[in-house]
Each structure stands twice: as structure tokens, then as C-alpha cells.
């Protein structure tokens, strides 16, 4: 189940199928994010004393070179940014779909849904730019 299925359902006028697909997609994403957070917390809780001491020892070079990010950090950012971008995309499409349904029923747009769609679109664009920058840094 992916966002394309939701969009295809909306485009073909299958509102119930689109709603079910969207709910399924959002549930899957939420469970994936929850599982990732559980793993992250478990790793943080059970890290060894040596790892903690090593992380606390910051060399002068690390302090001066603030723009150098580790590949691990960039990888974590990419995973989260992709999830956030997908969530924003789904939110934007959902708001657009709801707004289209509102237009069909009332003959006019719902300003709140339009604002929601715009907000999700801006978030989606910011994540896209961030993902491109992280990929660029990883490929250096």
C-alpha cells in the first residue's frame, strides 16, 4: 500500500477505497515510525559506558568544523526526512481531496483545507530540499 494507490483511487472517484487506502497507509507509517523510535530508544538506553565516554570527548577539530556531519547522522536525517515528506504528501493530497469533496457539495472552496494543503506542500518542498542536500553531502 502506498501513496500512489491513494492518489489513483481519488483520481478514479473511488472515495471509499481512497479513504481505506489512506487509513491503511497512515497506520503503516505510524507503526514504522513507532518501531524505529523503539529501536532508537533501546539503543540509547543500552549503550555501553565506553560509547558514552567516547561521545563526550569532543576534539577541537569537531568543534571548529561544525559543517561536517557524519554519514550516520545524514543517514538518520534522510530516513526521517523521507518519512516526513511522505506524511506531508499524504496530508496535502488528503486536504486536496477533502477540499474537492467540499467544492462538489457546496460549490466553493474550504479556506482551512486550502491552508492545510499549502502548509503540507511547503513542508514537502522543504524536506525535498533537505533530502537533496543530505544526498549531496553523502556523495562527496
Q: Are residues 6 and 27 in the same domain?
A: yes
Q: Which domain holds residue 22?
A: 1-59
> Quick check: helix, strand or coil at residue 66?
coil
Q: Contacts by 14-18 with C-beta closer than 8 Å and gap 24+?
A: 15/101, 18/97
Identify whether 64 is part of a domain: no
Q: Are residues 77 and 137 in the same domain?
A: yes
Instruction: Give the three cell numbers for residue 128.
Output: 525535498
- Spell out the alpha helix ranges (H) of 12-140: 15-45, 49-56, 60-64, 71-106, 111-138
Domains in the chain, number? 2
Q: Are residues 120 and 73 in the same domain?
A: yes
pLDDT at 50 (0 to 100): 52
pLDDT by position in tens, the chain (length 140): 567 777 777 778 887 887 787 778 777 777 787 778 777 777 766 665 555 555 555 554 455 445 567 778 878 888 888 889 899 999 999 999 998 998 999 999 999 999 999 999 999 999 889 888 888 887 76
pTM score > 0.85 for this model?
A: no
CA distance 31 to 130: 24
pLDDT at 131 (0 to 100): 85
Q: Are residues 51 and 81 in the same domain?
A: no
CA nearest 2: which of 119, 87, 123? 87
Q: How far is CA 115 from CA 12, 15, 71, in A?
A: 25, 22, 36
pLDDT at 56 (0 to 100): 57
Listed in sequence order, the residues at least 6 apart from 18 whose beta carbon sits closer than 8 Å to its beta carbon are 6, 9, 10, 97
Amino acid at each position: 500500500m502506498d501513496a500512489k494507490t491513494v492518489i489513483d483511487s481519488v483520481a478514479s472517484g473511488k472515495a471509499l477505497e481512497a479513504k481505506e487506502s489512506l487509513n491503511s497507509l497512515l497506520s503503516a507509517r505510524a507503526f514504522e515510525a513507532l518501531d524505529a523510535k523503539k529501536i532508537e530508544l533501546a539503543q540509547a538506553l543500552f549503550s555501553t559506558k565506553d560509547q558514552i565516554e567516547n561521545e563526550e570527548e569532543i576534539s577541537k577539530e569537531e568543534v571548529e568544523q561544525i559543517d561536517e556531519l557524519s554519514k550516520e547522522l545524514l543517514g538518520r536525517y534522510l530516513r526521517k526526512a523521507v518519512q516526513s515528506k511522505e506524511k506531508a504528501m499524504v496530508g496535502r493530497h488528503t486536504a486536496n481531496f477533502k477540499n474537492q469533496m467540499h467544492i462538489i457539495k457546496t460549490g466553493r472552496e474550504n479556506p482551512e483545507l486550502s491552508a492545510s494543503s499549502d502548509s503540507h506542500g511547503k513542508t514537502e518542498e522543504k524536506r525535498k530540499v533537505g533530502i537533496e542536500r543530505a544526498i549531496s553531502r553523502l556523495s562527496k
